[in-house]
Every structure is written in structure tokens, then in C-alpha cells.
Amino acid sequence: MKNNLNIRKDLKTEYFWDVSIDDIDVRESKRLIIERIFSYGTLDEIKKIIDFYGAENVINTLTGLNYLDRKTLNFASKLFYIPKKNFKCLKRKQSHHQHWNY
């Protein structure tokens, strides 16, 4: 982790609607922060997260998540040049076949 990340200043608090922004520890809540910023954040915020945690930490976190929406999965795959099959959320989704589509 390179720079000091101030969540209240550098990121929108709206991304963390279900937790108290004052109680978030950027080191302990790495998975939550990376997931929310990649799902809802701007490119500038995504760059800040990558600079703060480092690309390798971000990649490991994203590929290990149980769920990513299709847009975020595609974006992360293209951004880091990682095949979608390497993401846990895609492997998990394929193993749970549903009998109907929504």
C-alpha cells in the first residue's frame, strides 16, 4: 500500500451505505472497498484504489470475489488482461445451473 487513502475525502460515502464510514479501516476492509469502487466508482477513484493497494492486491481481490456484476467483471478482465474464466464469480456462476432465466 503506497499512499494514505482517506475514504471520506477521496471516495464517495454513498458507496458505503451499509457501514459507518467512520468505522472503516482501509486495511481490514480491503475487499469491501475494492468491490464497491470497481462496481460503482469512477475511473479516477479506481486509479486511486489501484495506486493505494497495488495492482496485484486488487487483482487477487477481484478474482477471488464470489460475485461481480457482468459490467464490472468485463471491465476488470479487460483492464488487467485477465481471462474471465480466472474469476471465481464466473466459475461459481457456471456451476449453479438454473432451470429458468430472469
- Predicted TM-score (pTM) of the model is 0.84
> Which of 7-21, 32-46, 85-99 is predicted least confidently?
85-99
Neighbours of 35 (CB within 10 A): 19
Q: Give per-residue pLDDT as tens, 27-85.
A: 899 999 999 999 999 999 999 999 999 999 999 999 999 999 999 999 999 999 999 99
- The domain ranges of the chain are 7-95
